[in-house]
């Protein structure tokens, strides 16, 4: 067992023989922060058929991988995975722990943080190292600054865990960048015995049936996104956005308000509680520009806003502003694209 403690650890999700992108993104961020703190980067992965999984993980600069292999650990259920992390963390006392803000990480993280009485900040959009001085004058050096939008995205809060370890955070897929550090990087593999980290009662929840489809929507990878907001007014009007996205070779995205209204599916939601995107072209149609939405698309190369309100907040970050009704403008854009392309 490892002798050094207080490192930075990332819980890696694993499906179909592949480590999840969000985990690799967190490893990339973790490497940078670990370098800053002069500590090691570790990963923990629990599941079945984990042979050679380290080959996917080491290149991100991982110094040590904890592997727990057992057929009962896949598919994921809350209790055994929580027990593994709780017991492992008690042993190795990580300084910082990250997991994806996915249905797994958001199920697992709170349970682990409750058992360890450590703090957990959900859906961070930025993670930094910095000092903190509290109201009583106590000073803390090199804390993890966990930055996240709060209050429906209308404010941004910086959260710290001064006294408790590990400092835990979840981050959504696509928020951090994924970057191989060194394809030849090799660390240590530590195999953990599942029976030492879980108990029989942890396996009481059975997964009866599982129907996981590869998502049909690929917002993150699409170079062009046509997004609709509440200003679209109806599900029918969303059909027009599909036409524009089709002719331009892009995908349709939506704001939370439009998804809540039932005009678009959940997997098309862009923003702090949806997907973060960085397309070449973002056409915002009837999008007012709530901060939680802007947080998920502000890095787009070119932003066009089509809105009846000339003062819509989104216009302030747009490159092109068209003031008018979406149902007037979009058909014209389709027409002139067809006329001028090829």
- Kindly identify the residues of this chain, within the stretch 148-177, that bind another protein according to CB under 8 A: 149-164
> Residue 332 interacts with another protein (CB under 8 A)?
yes
Residues 6 or more apart whose Cβ sits within 8 Å of residue 276: 172, 173, 174, 175, 220, 270, 295, 296, 297
Site for another protein in 33-72 (CB under 8 A): none
> Residue 273 interacts with another protein (CB under 8 A)?
yes
Torsion sign (Cα): 211, 216, 222, 224:
negative
Which residues face 146 on adjacent strands?
A: 127, 159
Site for another protein in 186-245 (CB under 8 A): 204-215, 224
Which of 37, 74, 87, 107 lies at the binding interface for another protein (CB under 8 A)? 107
Contact map string, positions 113 to 152, toward another protein, x by CB under 8 A: xxx-xxxxxxx--------x-x----------xx--xxxx
Which CB sits closer to another protein, 65 or 284? 284
Which CB sits closer to another protein, 97 or 318? 318
> Residue 322 interacts with another protein (CB under 8 A)?
yes
> Residue 26 interacts with another protein (CB under 8 A)?
no
Which CB sits closer to another protein, 56 or 77? 77
Q: How far apart, in Å, are the Cα atoms of 33 and each of 29, 95, 123, 130, 259?
A: 6, 11, 18, 11, 35
Stretch that binds another protein, among 46-54, 87-95, 185-193, 265-273 (CB under 8 A): 265-273
Q: If binding means CB under 8 A, how many residues of this protein chain bind another protein? A: 97
97: closest CA among 32, 183, 7? 7
Shortest spacing between CB 179 and another protein, in angstroms: 23
Residues 6 or more apart whose Cβ sits within 8 Å of residue 320: 302, 303, 304, 305
Which of 129, 189, 190, 291 lies at the binding interface for another protein (CB under 8 A)? 291
Provide the phi-psi class of 42: left if phi over 0, else alpha when psi is between -120 and 50, else beta: beta
Stretch that binds another protein, among 1-9, 37-45, 48-56, 267-275 (CB under 8 A): 267-275
Residue 126 to residue 105: CA distance in whole angstroms:
17
Site for another protein in 297-316 (CB under 8 A): 298, 301-305, 315-316
173: closest CA among 9, 43, 24? 24
Which of 126, 243, 281, 327 lies at the binding interface for another protein (CB under 8 A)? 281
3-state secondary structure 176-190: CCCCCCCCCCCCEEE
């Amino acid at each position: 067992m490892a002798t050094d403690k207080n490192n930075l650890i990332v819980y890696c999700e694993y499906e179909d023989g592949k480590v999840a992108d969000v985990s690799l993104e967190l490893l990339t961020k973790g490497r940078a922060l670990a370098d800053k703190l002069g500590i090691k980067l570790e990963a923990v992965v629990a599941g079945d058929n984990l042979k050679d999984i380290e080959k996917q993980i080491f290149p991100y600069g991982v110094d040590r991988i904890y592997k727990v292999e057992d057929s009962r650990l896949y598919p994921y259920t809350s209790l055994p995975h929580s027990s593994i992390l709780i017991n492992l963390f008690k042993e190795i006392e990580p300084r910082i722990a990250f997991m994806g803000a996915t249905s797994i990480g958001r199920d697992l993280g709170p349970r682990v943080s409750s058992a360890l009485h450590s703090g957990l900040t959900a859906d961070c959009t930025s993670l930094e190292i910095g000092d903190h001085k509290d109201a009583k004058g106590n000073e803390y050096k090199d804390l993890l600054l966990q930055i996240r939008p709060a209050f429906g995205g209308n404010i941004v809060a910086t959260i710290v865990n001064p006294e408790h370890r590990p400092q835990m955070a979840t981050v959504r897929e696509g928020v951090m960048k994924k970057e191989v550090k060194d394809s030849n990087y090799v660390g240590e593999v530590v195999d953990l015995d599942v029976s030492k980290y879980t108990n029989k009662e942890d396996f009481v929840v059975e997964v009866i049936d599982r129907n996981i489809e590869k998502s049909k929507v690929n917002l993150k990878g699409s170079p062009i996104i046509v997004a609709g907001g509440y200003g679209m007014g109806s599900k029918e009007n969303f059909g027009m956005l599909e036409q524009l996205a089709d002719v331009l070779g892009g995908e349709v995205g939506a704001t939370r308000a439009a998804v809540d209204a039932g005009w678009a599916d959940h997997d098309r939601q862009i923003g702090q509680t949806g997907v973060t995107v960085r397309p070449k072209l973002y056409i915002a149609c009837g999008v007012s520009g709530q901060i939680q939405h802007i947080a998920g698309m502000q890095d787009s190369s070119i932003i066009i806003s089509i809105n009846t309100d000339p003062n819509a907040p989104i216009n302030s970050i747009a490159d092109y502003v068209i003031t008018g009704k979406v149902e007037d403008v979009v058909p014209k854009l389709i027409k002139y694209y067809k006329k001028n392309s090829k």
